[in-house]
Structure 1
Amino acid sequence: MPELGFNEGAWRFGTFAGILLLMIVLEAVWPRRKRRHTRLRRWATNFGILFSDYLAVTLVVLLVPVTAVITALFAQQYQIGLFYWLDWPLWVEWLIAFLVLDFVIWGQHVITHKIPILWRIHRVHHTDQDLDASSAVRFHPLEIILSIFIKSAAVLLLGAGAVLVVIFEAVVNGSALFNHANFKIPPTLDHMLRWFIVTPDMHRIHHSIERQEHDTNYGFALSIWDRLFRVYSVEPELGHDKMIIGQPDAQDTGPETFLWSILLPFFKRKMPASNAPPSDKNSQETT
């Protein structure tokens, strides 16, 4: 099988860590909202979930060697996919591939809200009661595995190149860190950027406790799909400072704990949290 020619893991980690660090600095210097909870427990849980994602993906790749990049290399070796059958300029292929893959991720996000069994998995992401860069990695391992297979199928159909796939995934991961980050962008600039990409204010609406708001603004990188399919919201009803983030039946301490978050998809009804009192919706802890 062909090789990438560079260390994919090191490149991914370097870009992820660099963007994450930048977002953390921006959140510290220009915070958008006051935090409801301390960072320590939330970050420990969210990054703990990220580590469990890494372990799950490693196990899956050992059992079934499938990732989007491996699929791209496989398609290259056997000349499978649309781009290998059509003699298009490279820039056209890259543009189409980026748009199609971004749409596929958008579509996956939509169905995780619409299909009950998938919502139980994706709901882990939505139970975070604050939103910051760490929220971007709060995805249950089952959702990460599902995403791998969906992206791999799209890559195989397209015949997208491996380098393109690596760059696309870096862009999407960086976009997720950016649009979950809790930092302030001047309103004029924010509304200009929204014509092209998903901004933090735009995505925050998607994490609203209100159903009519969290069923909008599904985009990860590009904002075009929300506008095109008429699921775009401009502002939350209560405004960004007063809106409540999370799920109506998960406003206690449960989402701050790793085990609660990992086990959540396996319980049809609300899981018990801890003996600690529910979080005050009006709490404004900033430490």
Structure 2
Amino acid sequence: MAEFAAFITAHEAALRSGIMLTLLVVFFGLERALPRRRQNIALDHAAGNILIGIINGGLVRLVVPGGLAALALWNADGGLLGLVRAPNWLVFLASLILLDLALYWQHRLFHEIPFLWRWHGAHHSDRTLNVTSGLRFHPGEALISTAIKAAAVLLIGPPALAVICFEILLNCASLFNHANWRLGRVDGWLQKLVVTPDMHRLHHSRTPHESRMNYGFFLSLWDRLFGSYQLEPAQAHEAIDLGLADAENDDFLAALKHPFKR
């Protein structure tokens, strides 16, 4: 186990990049073969979203060179989990669950606090929700999110391996949740445990009430527990109006300029 943890820690960046690239290709292909909504996605638009994701990855690495895993190593035996005597596997599992809970509340705050919404709105301005939308987060939001996750790591006290695995899981879930592909009944079955494309698509609705539902990233439990779960949109999924009503353009530059609009 120690050797596995050391390997994952040493090759985190390569693993994350490889997994995300693979999922991008697979999900993009599934969107073409089994689309949930008929929509035309311009290649330059998709490329712009991917470029934002690349910028964010480089920016976060520049600001936090060792990533959140380095912070977890520094904080070893600290935080809430440092007070608990439990098997390693249980601490690992608890870490993933608590970090996911932290991300649920982070996402909810990004909608409820106007200053944070200015940054998060760039993500919601995408009118053609697809797998690349899972990378479309303003660099300002990426930095704020990193700071919040750092605070969560210090408070919770997860082991470094759990932090790395959670970050990989978070990236994968973001691509999966935004993918425009038809899962049929499988979506409903999965939604009992995890956030699915249909569940998250409702969150991207222009209808104000719906955009304040389904905040979860991975586990659907938190939305059910905290009263923010909605099973179906008022309109059919194929007819949901996506994006923001006041976003005239949803291209690369418009996303970067979005927080600074008056």
User: Shared fold by TM > 0.5?
Assistant: yes
Give the partner amino acid of 1:261. Answer: A
Give CA-to-partner distance per residue, 1:107-154, whole Å, 9 cap, x none: 000000001010000000000001110000000111111111111221
How has the CA–CA distance of structure 1 residues 210 and 179 changed in structure 2, closer, same or farther, with 3 Å as cutoff?
same
Query: Residue 261 of structure 1 is aligned with which of 237, 255, 259?
Result: 255
Matches of 1:242 and 1:84 in 2, distance apart? 48
Structure 1, unaligned stretches of length 5 or more? 269-287
Tell me, what secondary structure is at the counterpart of 2:237?
coil
Matches of 2:138 and 2:12 in 1, distance apart? 23
Matches of 1:8 and 1:139 in 2, distance apart? 21
How has the CA–CA distance of structure 1 residues 230 and 82 changed in structure 2, closer, same or farther, with 3 Å as cutoff?
closer
Map residues 137-152 of structure 1 onto 2, 5 A cutoff: 137-152=135-150
Matches of 2:98 and 2:241 in 1, distance apart? 33
Matches of 1:4 and 1:148 in 2, distance apart? 23
Q: What is the Cα deviation at residue 66 of structure 1?
A: 6.5
Partner of residue 226, structure 1:
223
Partner of residue 246, structure 2:
249
Asked if structure 1 preserves the Cα contact closer than 8 Å seen for 2:195 and 2:216, the reply is yes
In the alignment of these two chains, the number of paired residues is 256
Matches of 1:202 and 1:157 in 2, distance apart? 29
Map residues 13-92 of structure 1 onto 2, 5 A cutoff: 13-35=17-39, 37-61=40-64, 65=65, 67-76=67-76, 79-92=77-90
Matches of 1:183 and 1:166 in 2, distance apart? 28
Asked if structure 1 preserves the Cα contact closer than 8 Å seen for 2:24 and 2:131, the reply is yes
Matches of 1:89 and 1:148 in 2, distance apart? 28
Partner of residue 199, structure 1:
196
Matches of 2:215 and 2:66 in 1, distance apart? 26
Structure 2, unaligned stretches of length 5 or more? none
Tell me, what secondary structure is at the counterpart of 1:198?
coil
Tell me, what secondary structure is at the counterpart of 1:230?
coil
If each structure's helix is expressed as a fraction of its own residues, which one has the higher value?
A: 2
Give CA-to-partner distance per residue, 1:142-180, whole Å, 9 cap, x none: 111111111122112222111111111111111111110
Matches of 2:215 and 2:84 in 1, distance apart? 32
Matches of 2:255 and 2:177 in 1, distance apart? 22
Greater shift in the superposed pair: 105-114 or 47-56: 47-56
Partner of residue 114, structure 1:
112
Moved over 3 A (4+): none
